[in-house]
Amino acid sequence: MNKNIHTLNHIDHFFKMIKTLRVVILILLGVIILLSTLFINLALKDPIVITEKVDNTRVYTWAKRRKIEVGISEIYHFTESFVKERYSWDRFSSELVIKRIGNWITPQYKKSLLAAFKKRKPIKDKKISQYVANIQIKIDGSVAHAKFDRVIRVNGIPLISPMQVTLYLIRGDQDKFNLYGLYVKGVEEYEVN
């Protein structure tokens, strides 16, 4: 009999512990739901922009989330950035060039560019770098024309060749890597004499 009472006490204690754990789990579930709701609310809220003035005072303002309107100046800036990233390098590496412009080009253009890079013959025993200067851009709808001086340095000696490229642009999704949502779907290159 004493053994049965002892077993009943254990069972009673076990059920009390289960009830206590059930209450604790419900409280923790409520906290998780509350924190998840707050997190989602903060993630979807417009961001706060903090501006620091010259006198070290800070101004807090709510910004509005909106897509960037793409006009001529944005296409101009995109074209200039693309030309610099595509045609400037200290040591040529097709992987590095693709990495630098990869977020700005279509998959089809990426394939054709990689194929063109494979056709290039590597130049050994010479230190070659390239950069661009004097970029002039003309925008014609979804086509951007850029004239620039391509400066190729072979063992430190600069060789300048005027060049012109035509970028065929399409609009796509804007994201943090491509703020304007402009993508290059093709490029025509010309050496200007």
- Position 130: which residue type? Q
The domain boundary, picked from 16, 43, 62, lies at 62
Residues of the chain with pLDDT under 50: none
Provide the domain limits for residue 131.
Answer: 72-191
Give 127-131's long-range contacts (Cβ < 8 A, gap of 24+): 127/91, 127/153, 127/154, 127/155, 127/156, 128/91, 128/92, 128/152, 128/153, 128/154, 129/89, 129/90, 129/91, 129/153, 130/87, 130/88, 130/89, 130/92, 131/87, 131/88, 131/89
Tokens of 76: 């101009």
Pair (16, 56) in one structural domain: yes
* Residue 26: per-residue pLDDT: 95
Tokens of 188: 């025509």
Pair (157, 177) in one structural domain: yes
Number of domains within the chain: 2
85-99 confidence digits (pLDDT tens):
999 988 888 889 999
- Which ranges of the chain does DSSP label H, i.e. alpha helix? 2-44, 72-87, 94-101, 107-119
Question: Does 67 fall in a domain?
Answer: no
Pair (50, 82) in one structural domain: no
12-27 confidence digits (pLDDT tens):
888 889 999 999 999 9
Backbone angles phi, psi at 159, to 5 degrees: -120, 120
* Residue 84: per-residue pLDDT: 95
- Residues linked to residue 149 through DSSP beta bridges, in sequence order: 133, 162
